[in-house]
Amino acid sequence: MRLIYTLLLTVLTPFWMLNWCIRGWRERAYLSHWPERFGFLPATRTQTLWVHAVSAGEVQASVPLVKLLAAQHPKLALLVTTATPAGRLMAQSLYPQARVHYLPIDLPGCVRRFFVRVRPVVGVILETEIWPNLYAGAVDHGVPLVLVSARLSARSVGRYQRVKSWVSSLLANVTIAAQSESDAQRFCAIGAHPSRVSVCGNLKFDYQVPESVVAKAQSWRQSLAVRPVWVAGSTHAVEEDAVLAAHEKVLAQFPTALLILVPRHPPRFAVVEQRLKDSGRAYAVRRQTDAAVTNPAADVWLIATLGELVCAYAAADVAFVGGTLVPIGGHNLLEPAAVARPVLFGPFISNARLMAEVLEASAGGQTVGDADALAAAVKAYFQNPELGRRAGQAAYQAISPHRGAAARTFLQIDPWLGKSKPDNH
């Protein structure tokens, strides 16, 4: 099976490279650091903790865990690998002392170069990144792997069970710290040994908003005076149509309302800006080099930066989280909850189901099915600010019992690094 997989991937790699080139026309960062994609990283002899987080959200989720590991094992160098330019930028921002590179293509030669040059003591992989040659290479080079904040959908179980014996061999070297009991059972169903699977929770629940973000949000809010403000964060194409349609309905009742729009992917910033321009509406754009958004007449702020989504949530009265009105599966519902804001989301929440259930049970979040329902929910919170404050506090309090995933996950990694324990476990 591994041979067939490798041959197929070898055939597809030129097409993958072509796709990078095409994406590079829109986002130049995809044309950078190509050698890393083939395992050509600077060699090191330093003992290294390797953390892989596919994109920006996973990089941010890794912070509480990495802080614990760094505090208990300060002599270890840190390597963070990612798969996207957004993830790379986020990692460079959050881990200025770390080496940050792209994970190589899952071909044997690329993987071999990676392990020979990096020589990690352990590999910590966030969520569900199962790469056959990478996992086999870890075995060959004696590198234990820990899959953290691990999740597996019911649909994926069916696919993996078709090749269960192969998947079981891949997972034989992997310790799995699952998000939930259901995820743990699914990993066992595809061949993971129960003795190597534990339930540690979702690292995203441990996110703490930095004081610098709170201060920036307060500055934004002061510039908005008493305007009612809502955020649509991590939005996708088509979904933005619904968001803008909802905003029109909100403006009909609240003419001074402001929508802060934060598209999910940087290449789409220009596309969304053109959409706003074509619509003839008053809008402003915040770019990475701007000190602030300064157009007081704008009824839409487009945030064309990385790393400011939580700041936008904190500056608003209500938050809608994208990837949920389109069949993406949802993005991080906990970020607005962490700043005590009511959380709205669509019905497509397969990637964030536990988060959605926790928030809805607390009345800190609610599902909206379309633009009309989204507009109605936003207007309800604008009409009754006290209702919004209570919902925001409920959302914040709802996530507190689920914190502690980082400390529990630490205990699954520490045996590979030493016997020390975190002070707050």
| Enzyme catalytic residues | 58
* SS3 state at 87: helix
How far apart are the C-alpha atoms of 181 and 152, rounded to whole Å?
Answer: 11
Q: In the numeric block, which tokens belong to residue 175?
A: 């310790």
| CA neighbor of 201 nearest in space, from 215, 183, 185, 213 | 183
Strand 343-345's sheet: what is its strand order? Answer: 283-287, 300-304, 258-263, 229-235, 318-321, 343-345, 365-367
How many of the other CB atoms lie within 10 Å of CB of 75? Answer: 7
Sign of CA dihedral 201, 203, 209, 210: positive
How far apart are the C-alpha atoms of 172 and 145, rounded to whole Å?
Answer: 10
What string of DSSP letters covers 246-257?
Answer: HHHHHHHH-TT-
Is residue 118 within 8 A of residue 96, CB to CB? The reply is: no
| CA neighbor of 263 nearest in space, from 245, 285, 282, 248 | 285
Residue owning tokens 């934060």: 262
For residue 6, give the H/E element and its range. helix 2-26
In this structure, the dihedral spanned by the alpha carbons of residues 331, 382, 214 and 126, taken in order and rounded to 10 degrees, is -10
List CB contacts of 397: < 8 A, sequence separation 6 or more.
362, 364
Is residue 141 within 8 A of residue 407, CB to CB? The reply is: no
**Residues facing 176 on adjacent strands:** 147, 197
Strand 174-178's sheet: what is its strand order? Answer: 99-102, 77-82, 48-52, 120-126, 145-150, 174-178, 197-199
Nearest-5° angle of CA 87, CA 220, CA 376? 85
How many of the other CB atoms lie within 10 Å of CB of 130? Answer: 18
How far apart are the C-alpha atoms of 327 and 238, rounded to whole Å?
Answer: 11
What are the CA-CA distances from residue 319 to residues 293, 324, 342, 343, 392 (Å)?
19, 13, 6, 5, 10
